[in-house]
C-alpha cells in the first residue's frame, strides 16, 4: 500500500533547532545585558536535553521544564538571574526563528503534490505556532499536532491516538513517521505500529537498536524512497 500521510517532526527535521536555540539564547543574554561566555551554550544544551528526555518519559511537566532549564543553567554558572523572566524572553526569541533544515522547502513542495502531510511536535505551543506561521512551509501541511495542546507527548500512544483520530483513522500501513529523534519519533511510531523514517544527517549509530523502516541523511532522499514504495 502506498503511503497517504507523512507525519513530520518539527525541530531538527524541518526546522534548524540548533541554530534557533543559539540565536534565542544569545539574544536573550544580550537583552538581559549579561555577557554570554563560550561555555554557557554547552551547559545549556546538556541541561536542556536531559530535561526533554525526562519530559518524554512523563517525569517532568512542560511548564516546569521551561523554567527549570534556566534555573539549572544559572546555578551551574553562578548567575543571579530570574529564570522565569529569562524563560519568557527566551521563548519569544525562539518563536522568531524559522530557519529550515537543508532542502526542506523544495522537498515538501514536491511531496505535497502526492501526499497529505502533518507536523507532529513536542515543542512548546506558542513557540511552534509562531515559527510555523512565519515560515514558508505552513501552507504545505494539512495538520499541526502539538503535545502541549493534545495532553500527551511523543512517544506516548495517547499522542498518536489523538493524531490518528484527527486524521479520521487512516490505515496504519498508509502512514509514515519522519523524524530525527530515536527516543520520541522513532520509538513512538514503531510502538504504535507505524512505519518510520529516521532522519539522521550526521550518521549517528542507532543506540536504541530500534527497527526503523528507513534511514536517510538528506530529506531529498525521501523522494526516491517513496517512489519505490
Residues near 157 by Cβ (< 8 Å), separated by ≥ 6? Answer: 191, 192
Q: Are strands 116-121 and 5-9 parallel, antiparallel or unpaired?
A: parallel
C-alpha cell at 37: 561566555
Centre a 10 Å sphere on the Cβ of residue 168 and count the other Cβ atoms it contains. Answer: 6
218 is catalytic: no
Alpha carbons 37 and 77: distance in angstroms, whole number: 10
31, 178, 197 from 217: Cα distances, Å? 36, 12, 10
One of 9, 11, 16, 180 is an active-site residue; which one? 9
Residues near 164 by Cβ (< 8 Å), separated by ≥ 6? Answer: 170, 175
Cβ pair 140, 165 in contact under 8 A: no
Alpha carbons 95 and 217: distance in angstroms, whole number: 26
C-alpha cell at 135: 515560515
Active-site amino acid positions: 9
Amino acid at each position: 500500500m502506498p503511503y497517504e500521510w507523512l507525519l513530520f517532526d518539527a525541530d531538527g527535521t524541518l526546522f534548524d533547532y540548533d541554530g534557533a536555540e543559539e540565536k534565542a539564547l544569545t539574544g536573550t543574554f544580550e537583552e538581559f545585558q549579561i555577557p554570554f561566555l563560550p561555555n554557557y551554550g554547552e551547559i545549556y544544551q546538556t541541561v536542556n536535553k536531559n530535561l526533554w528526555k525526562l519530559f518524554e518519559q512523563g517525569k517532568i511537566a512542560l511548564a516546569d521544564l521551561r523554567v527549570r532549564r534556566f534555573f539549572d543553567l544559572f546555578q551551574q554558572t553562578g548567575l543571579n538571574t530570574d529564570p522565569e523572566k529569562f524563560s519568557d524572553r527566551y521563548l519569544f526569541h525562539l518563536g522568531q526563528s524559522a530557519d529550515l533544515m537543508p532542502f526542506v522547502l523544495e522537498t515538501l513542495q514536491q511531496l505535497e503534490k502526492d501526499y497529505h502531510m502533518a507536523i507532529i511536535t513536542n515543542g512548546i505551543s506558542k513557540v511552534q505556532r509562531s515559527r510555523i506561521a512565519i515560515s514558508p512551509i505552513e501552507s504545505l501541511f494539512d495538520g499541526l499536532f502539538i503535545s502541549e495542546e493534545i495532553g500527551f507527548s511523543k512517544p506516548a500512544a495517547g499522542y498518536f491516538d489523538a493524531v490518528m483520530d484527527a486524521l479520521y483513522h487512516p490505515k496504519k500501513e498508509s502512514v509514515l513517521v519522519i523524524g530525527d529523534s530515536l527516543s520520541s519519533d522513532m520509538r513512538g511510531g514503531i510502538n504504535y505500529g507505524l512505519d518510520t523514517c529516521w532522519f539522521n544527517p550526521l550518521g549517528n549509530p542507532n543506540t536504541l537498536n530500534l527497527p526503523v523502516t528507513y534511514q536517510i541523511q538528506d530529506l531529498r532522499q525521501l523522494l526516491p524512497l517513496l517512489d519505490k514504495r
